[in-house]
Each structure stands twice: as C-alpha cells, then as structure tokens.
Amino acid sequence: MVGKKKRSGLKRFFICLFGFLFVGAGVFFGVQFFTKTGIFRIPGVVYYDESLSEAEKEELAKIFTEEIDLDKDVTISGRNELVLPELAEGEFLYSIRVPVADFYEFTIDNVNAETADALLENPNVTIVDIGALTDKMSLLKINNKYYLDSFSEGGIYRIIKFESEKYDEEIKPLVAETYTKSFPSKDTVLTFAQTGVTALSRGMNAKLYKVGDATYFAAQIGEYLSSFDLTHTSNESSFTDYANTRNICSDKRFINTLTAIGLDIVELTGNHNIDCGDQAAIETVETYLNNGMKIVGGGRSAEEAYVPLRITQKGSNITFLAFNLSTGGATYDSTPGANQYYEEVIGPQIQDAKKAGDFVIVDIQYYECNAYASTYEDYTCDYANSAAGDQIGLFRHIIDLGADVVVGTSAHQTQTFEVYGNGVIYYGLGNLFFDQVWWPGTTRSLILAHYFYNGKLLQTKLVPTVYGDDMQTRLMDKETAVWFLNRLAKARP
C-alpha cells in the first residue's frame, strides 16, 4: 500500500509540474507572439523615403547594413528649405548650397524663389555646396538675403530626418557622428573690410572747421564698416596741430572719424605720412595704438615698418604684408615712414607665411594714375597699366611668389581687378575719404568685404562707395554700383 501511495504522489507531482511548465511556456511564447519578441520577433526595417537622393541612400546604406539589427522600424526622409528651421528631434542639417555667378558678373546679384526645390530646378542658376564656394566665384543673394551675412537665409538648407520609436536608443548612436556637421556661422566666419585711400586733410580740414564734429564724415558709412570683425584703411595723413586747408595733414579731431568706422588696422604705406614732420608721424602711430588699432606697412622706424601683421581670429590665420613702391615717404632707418618694397624681402616673407599655413594678403602703395584733368567720366585710370611702371607685371609677380590677394592702395581713382593664377588682384581701391570732389573718378572707391572660414577665403564682395561735395562717404546705390562694377570688370587685363 505504501508503495502505491508513493507512485500516485509522484504521478500527481509530475502532472502538476508539466502542467505548470506547459502553462508557463504558453504564457511565455504567447507574450512573445503578441509583442513580437523572442522567437516571434520581427526585426526593424529601414524605410528610405523617395525624397532622398540616390547618393544619400548610398551613404545611409553604409550605416544601416545587414549586420545592423534594429528593434523598431526607422523612416528616413529629406527636404530642402530656404530658411534654416529649428531642428526637431531626429533632424540634422545635412548640407547648405548657395547660388553663384561668374567672378566678373555683376548684373545679377540676387535670385528670387518661392521654394528651395524650385530654385534647384532652375536651369539658369548655378548651385554649389558651401564647401565648394571660393573667392573666384560671385555669391548671389536668395530673395535679397546674402548667406554670409545672414547664415539662416540666403542658402538652400538640406534637412535629413530620422523617425523611429526608439530613436534615442537605436538610431541616434548610429547617425549622430556622421550627420552632425559644422557650417559657416557668425561665430566662425571672420569678416574683414579692406578700404582704399584715406587722407583726412586739406578741404576736409576746412569742412571740419564748419561742422565741428569729425564723426560727420563717417555718418553714412560708419555703421556698415563697424559691422565687420576687422576694418582696414590706408591712411596717409598724420595728425598735427599745424593741419590747414592746404597741406596733407589731419586735424587731431579726425581720429574720431576713424573710430566711428570701427577702424582696426591702419596701413601706413602712403607717401604723405611724413609730410607733417617726423614727430607728428610718430605721435600719430602712438595715437592709433592707444586707440586699439594695429599698424602695417609703416611705423616709427624701418624696423617697426618691416614687421608683417599676423591676424589670428575665428579659426583663420592671415599674414598681412604692405609695402611702399611709390614717390617717397619710405623709412630706411630709425625715422618714421613707410615700409619700402624690396624683392629680397617680400619673397621670403610670403614663403614664411605660407609655410605657417597662413592666407597671405599683400598691399602695395604703387604709382598713381593722374588723369584728373576733366569733370566728365574719364576711363583712363580704370586700367591697370594707367600709371608709371609695369603694375600688371609686378602685381602678378607677387601672386606668383605665393600671395593669395594683392591690393593696390595708392589709387585715388578705382582700378580694375582680375583673377590671376591662384590668386586675385585688385589694382586700386580709390578714395574712401578725401577732399577730391571735383572729378567723378576720385569720389568713388571699392570696399573689399572678405569672408574667411577656417583659413579659407570664401568670398570677397565688392562694395562701391561714393562721396560728394558734403564729403560724407556713403554706399553707392544699386543701379550705379552695377554700372560701375561692370565698367571696371571690362577694363581687366
């Protein structure tokens, strides 16, 4: 009897055990079946929206390979915008494209578009990736927005979007490194305005005696020039108490004109800086330095004048060289004056800068074109060979030595420009501030608005200025600017 009872108890135990295991297994596999986990799990699928290009799909396929085992589906799509949106979760700024024209094209500076896709489909507009933009192209506005001034408009912004129930856990770790990119922004683009001749003297002294406030001359251009990270001019008139209406000397109050335009860099290659005497020239340099300005191309001695100006700002390194090759004003010893041009000096200085990985700008105070004998439009000085000597040969030679940009800063009348070799030459910028109001050519100038990003010059926008009898420099109106720039472009070598 005892044996039968034991067998009966074991039987019930195993029946209960198997029943428990069966029910447990049923529950376990049932949960997997209904939740699609375990042996019933369906792997996540990658869905490529038709808004993606073939190139984008190929790039994504390198990430979402067959070895990638996703728990949830992911849908990937793309879209183009004309205004940079606030990016939502799973969205990345994939690329920025911009419209461009030929370097010498100034008739068109803007394209209008209702949508980004419509602009991309426009056969009359050339679109390039922002990484391919160079100073040998002319960047156009979109709907009157210039990308390098706005950054959130003026471009075509490509957005890639990833949608998944497990975006943070599964997708973000896979794509964040590839799709998080850096693009030019206000914090990373160095803006640098180069201007031409400034000579706050003679008739400007007379005007200052009447208006009493030296900021008067900068009233219409000061805000624009002050908006740049760096603003430069070639000032060839020293401050002195002996300034009058006949000499190339500046009333001391004219320092306020320069601070009103936010001046950062004073070029001293001019041939009139020592007209007012050595002491005035020395004190003028000290005035600049005391106002936080840097000097280049001249100084209180030949040793100081010789030193290049190195700019290190916003991730860009620029070596700025400036020389006098003109009608005087150079220093050769411990006296003040301009940095004299020597072939044996400029070559090694350019080579040293290039070895350091710097972008190189060279300014030259050259001989002047003096076609001032008329009150009508005279095109003589538009040309690069309109002054004494071989200006074209010299400026091109400096590019051949390795300079990236060469600028003539002696011209009182604006000259032409050209792409040459690996660089760009601006033969003469004209007068930013002076009293020469009698001849149309001397009332105009060019501002070179440079935009640097990671040491590369993305663009140089040519911005014409003009002044009249009031001697207030202002930006040229659009219609006149187009005429003027096309005129200069036609005179190129």
Q: Which amino acid is at 190?
A: L
493: three-class secondary structure by DSSP: coil
Q: What is the pLDDT of residues 277-300, one digit of tens each?
A: 999 999 999 999 999 999 999 999
Q: How confident is the model at residue 7 (pLDDT cuts 50, 70, 90)?
A: low
Rg for the chain, CA atoms, rounded: 34
Half-sphere exposure of 338 (CA within 13 A, CB side): 34
More confident residue, 41 or 177: 177
Q: Could you tell me if 9 and 37 are in contact, meaning their C-beta atoms sit under 8 angstroms apart?
A: no
Helices (H) and strands (E) in the chain, counts: 13, 27
Range from 23-37, 135-149, 376-390 that averages highest in pLDDT: 135-149
d(CA 112, CA 68): 44
Which residue in this structure is represented by tokens 């002076």?
434
User: Residue 345 pLDDT > 70, yes or no?
Assistant: yes
d(CA 134, CA 460): 9
Are β-strands 359-365 and 316-324 bridged in parallel, bridged antiparallel, or unpaired?
parallel
Q: Could you tell me if 349 and 365 are in contact, meaning their C-beta atoms sit under 8 angstroms apart?
A: no
Beta-carbon contacts of residue 478 (< 8 Å; ≥ 6 apart):
none
Q: Quick one: average pLDDT of 463-492? A: 98
Separation in Å, CA 96 to CA 86, 93, 114, 142, 147 = 15, 8, 17, 13, 10
Beta-carbon contacts of residue 148 (< 8 Å; ≥ 6 apart):
139, 154, 184, 189, 191, 451, 458, 459, 461
Domain covering 189-490, topology? Purple Acid Phosphatase; chain A, domain 2 (3.60.21)
Q: What is the pLDDT of residues 427-436, one digit of tens each?
A: 999 999 999 9
